[in-house]
Structure 1
Amino acid sequence: MKHLYAFCAVMVLWTTSMLAQGGSDLDPRIAIKAPQASEFVTVNGSQMHYLTAGSGDPIVFLHGQPTSSYLWRNVMPFLEDQGQVIAPDLIGFGQSDKPDLGYTFQDHYAYIDGFMDALELSDVTLVIHDWGSVLGLTWARENPDRIKAVIFMEALVAPVFPMDDISAFGPFADTFRAFRDAEAGPELLIKQNVFIEQILPTSVLRPLRAEEMDTYRAPFLNEADRKPLLMWPNELPIGGAPARNVAVFEANNAWLTTSETPKLLIYFDPGVLIPPQVAHWIGAHFNNIDIRYGGAGLHFVQEDQPVAIGRISADWLNALAAQ
C-alpha cells in the first residue's frame, strides 16, 4: 500500500483545482439540513445526540473524524423503509456532550457500547465509515448475537491498517508525523483546526456549501472543544503504537476474514483508504462479503454520493432479506 497515498495526493490537487473552478452542478437531493428527528440519550452520565427516523430493526450509522451524524443525513432516507435509522454523534462530536476524557479509542468505544445498550438495540445493521468503522466492527465482533449485517466504506481495515510504518502515508507522512507530535499536533489540530478547515473540504469532490461547513464547524468553534480532533490521529496504529489499538485492528481484521455476518463494501474512485485496488483485495480476503461500486469520491463520500450509497445499501438489504 506504499503508493496508495501518493495517488490520493494527486487527487487532492485535482480536487483543489476543481473547487477553484466552482465544481459541478449539485444534485438537489443533497440537502443542507438533516430531515431526521433529533434525540438525546444519557450514556455514562453524558448526553449523546442522535438523528433518527423510521421504525423496525435498527440500522445504525457511525461517523468518524472530524464529522458527526450530519454526514449521514442524505443517506438515511433511502433506508427508512428497511428499519429504524439511527445516527449518533460520537462523544465529543456533533451535539453530544464533551466530558473531560482522554478521547482514546477505548473511551469512544465505551460510549458507543453504552449507546447501543441504552437504546436496547439488537438485530443491528451497521453502516460505518472512518473511525466509525473501527468502533462498529469492534462492537459487531463483541456482540455476535446482536448484529445482523455490516455495510462499510472508506474504512480503517486491512490491508492498510495496522500500518507498519508512517512512511506508508507517502506524501502525507510528514503531515501525520506532525499530527502525532507533542508540539506540532496541538498547533495544527487545535489552534489551526486543520481537520475541519482543510482536510474535510479537500476530501470531498464537490464544493461544500457555507451552511454545510458551518454545521461541521459548530461543535469545534472553541479551541477547548477540539481535543477529540487531536486524539484520533494519535490513536491510529502505526509502527506498533499504540499497541492497544494494534490489537483491536488485528482482531477486527481477523473477524472480517472469518465471520459469517453478511458484509457489504461500497468503494469509490479514486477513494483514499479503499481505492479500487484495495477493494478488490478486500473482496478476495474477507468472508461473506459483497462489493459494490459507488461512483466518484475521495474520503467523505457521503457528501458526494449519498444517493448511490443509499440505493446500493437498500438494494443489498432487500436482497439479503429475501434470502
Structure 2
Amino acid sequence: MSEPQKLRVANISIAIEPVEEMHFPSPADCNSPCWWRDGELRVLTSTGHPVLSAGSDLNHLSRIGEITYTAWRDGGRWIESVFPDEDGTLYGWYHNEPAHLIGEEYQQGRQFRLTAPMIGAVVSHDNGATWDDLGIILNGGPETLNLEKHNYWFAGGNGDFSVILDRERRYFYFLFGTYYRDVAQQGISMARMRFEDRACPVGRVWKWHNGGWTQPGLLGAVTPVIPVQADWYSPQPDTFWGPSVHWNRFLQQYVILMNRAIDPRWGQDGIYLSLTPDISDPHSWTPPVKILDEKGWYPQVIGLEEGDTDREAGESARLFIHGVSRYILRFSS
C-alpha cells in the first residue's frame, strides 16, 4: 500500500489511507444507507430497486435479496437514506425517476429516457424487507424543467440526496441536488422537516430559500447552499452534486462528501468535502475542497466504531465510492 495522503480542510486535517479493496455485496448507484438492529448491520444498495444485505459488521455482509414495495410508483426508486426509530419503525427516503414525466417528443434518439427526479418517503415495519410508500415530498414545478437543453439524463428535478437528524432531534435535514432550468437554483440545496412529522411527511417539508425555510417541498423554489460554478445545461457545466452527510463526533461537525461534474455526461473532477458545526445555518458550510481525484460517483463514509453508520462516524471512517471502498479517512483537528 502507498503512504497516506494528507490534506487540510478549514481547521481540520485528513489523512487518506489506502487499504484493501472492499465491495458492498450488491452494486450501488446511489448513497447506500445502513443501520444497526439487534447486533446486526443492515445496508441498502440500489441500482433502480434496492437490495438488502446484512451481517455482523461491515466486513461480514451478505446479500439477503431485493426489498418489496407495497405500492407501485412510475420509474425506479433508489433508497438513499434511512432513520431507525426507537420503536423499531424504519423510515426511509428515496430518489424516484419517473419514466413517463417527459413527453415522447423529447426522447428521440436518446439512449436513456429523459426524466426529472423527485424525492419520496417510505416506512418499514420489518427491518427493511418491506416498505410502504408515504408519498412524494420534494420536487420541482413544470416551470423548472429545461426541455431544450438537458444534462444527458435530467431536465430538472430534486434528487441525489441524503438526510440526517440534527443533534437536538428537532429536524430532519435534506441535502439534495437541484437541476432546475434557472441557473440560480442549480446546485446542492437544503430542506428540513420536523421530527414529529416523519410518519406523515407530505406537505411538511420546507426548502431553504432567500435566507429562510420558506418554500414548500412540493413545487417550491430553492437557494442552493453550494451553487453551481457553471450552468448544468451548458456545454461545459461545473457543479457539485450527490451530497452524503454524516455527523462526525470526533470533529463535532457535520461533514458532506460530494461529486463535481464538469461535462454534460457528468464526467467527474473528483471527490470534495465541506463541513459545518451548525446544520441549521445553511450559510455556514465551508467552501468545498477536493480530497481525491477519483472519478467515481456517490462518495460516502461508514464509521468504524461500534454502532457507526453512514450518518455518524468518529476519528476514522471507511470511504466508499460507487459501492467500493479503497480508502480510510482519518480525521484530526
Same fold (TM over 0.5): no
TM-score by length of 1: 0.31
Report which structure shows greater RCO (CA 8 Å, sep ≥6): 1
Bigger proportion of residues as helix? 1
Bigger proportion of residues as strand? 2
TM-score by length of 2: 0.30
